């Protein structure tokens, strides 16, 4: 028996869609039949992504926006609704990591991390969620991190920002259920641009594989499949959860 995640007739808005996990999520949702609004700061990779999604038979609107700017949140939500109609799924995949040791973290480092990872995520979710509540349905999926619940050597500001997103997810789920479901996905170490330099060190990669039950590094597709599930009616009774996708890293 095969179980296909069917997103036919749904429209999803994905931030951080120009690369890495966000890009793979957009493609996976399109593969399931969803139309897309893809958001990132740089327009060129978005145009390439929109073309690829179009070749798969789905509509896609690329939106270049700097989510650090307060005016962008309502603008992105309004444009999505105007050009594509009601948005059924919001995926918050935009994020930043500033690699600095605690004694060296500056106020600018702190603010840039929390401005995008927390502030922008909340207020875009507010803008989109308000419309979902009015429409009577919706699903929000936010990308957090295994570092949100398991202390790692990742930058302190990054870990704190992702932990804030987990609590935000649970708080919104309580307030918006049963109309809008709100969940988050916490990836472990995944082959992305963000982790490229760290994973390029053979010692780091060996340590990671040795401490992961699945004995490998994660791929973006390991995350995007779960996001597609949470976006679909198959997960209709899952709400307020932060689901870890780390190949068993935090169990060893």
Residues with active-site annotation: 158
Residues contacting residue 250 through CB under 8 Å, at least 6 positions apart: 146, 149, 150, 188, 244
Sign of the CA dihedral running 122, 226, 10, 183 = negative
- With tokens 């307060």, the residue in question is 70
Task: Enter the tokens of residue 228.
Answer: 């597609």
E strands present in the chain: 11-15, 35-40, 60-64, 89-92, 138-143, 180-187, 242-245
Residue 153 CA: distances (Å) to CA of 100, 156, 158, 159: 11, 8, 10, 9
**CA pair distance 157, 173, nearest whole angstrom:** 25
- With tokens 């004694």, the residue in question is 103
**CA pair distance 163, 211, nearest whole angstrom:** 22
Task: Enter the tokens of residue 71.
Answer: 């005016």
């Amino acid at each position: 028996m095969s179980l296909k995640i069917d997103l036919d007739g749904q429209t999803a808005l994905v931030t951080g869609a120009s690369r890495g996990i966000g890009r793979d999520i957009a493609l996976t949702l399109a593969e399931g039949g969803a139309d897309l609004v893809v958001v990132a700061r740089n327009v060129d990779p978005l145009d390439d992504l929109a073309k690829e999604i179009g070749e798969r038979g789905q509509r896609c609107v690329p939106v270049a926006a700097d989510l650090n700017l307060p005016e962008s949140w309502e603008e992105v939500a309004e444009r999505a609704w105007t050009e594509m109609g009601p948005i059924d799924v919001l995926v918050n995949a935009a994020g930043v990591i500033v690699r600095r040791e605690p004694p060296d973290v500056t106020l600018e480092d702190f603010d840039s991390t929390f401005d995008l990872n927390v502030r922008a995520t909340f207020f875009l979710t507010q803008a989109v969620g308000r419309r979902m509540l009015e429409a009577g349905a919706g699903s929000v999926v936010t990308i957090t991190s295994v570092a949100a619940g398991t202390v790692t050597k990742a930058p302190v500001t990054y870990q704190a920002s992702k932990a804030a997103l987990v609590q935000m997810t649970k708080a919104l789920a309580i307030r918006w259920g049963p109309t809008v479901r709100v969940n988050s996905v916490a990836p472990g170490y995944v082959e992305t641009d963000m982790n490229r330099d760290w994973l390029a060190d053979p010692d780091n990669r060996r340590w990671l594989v040795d401490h992961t039950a699945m004995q490998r590094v994660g791929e973006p597709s390991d995350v995007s499949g779960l996001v597609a599930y949470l976006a679909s009616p198959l997960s209709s009774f899952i709400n307020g959860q932060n689901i870890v996708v780390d190949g068993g890293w935090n169990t060893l």
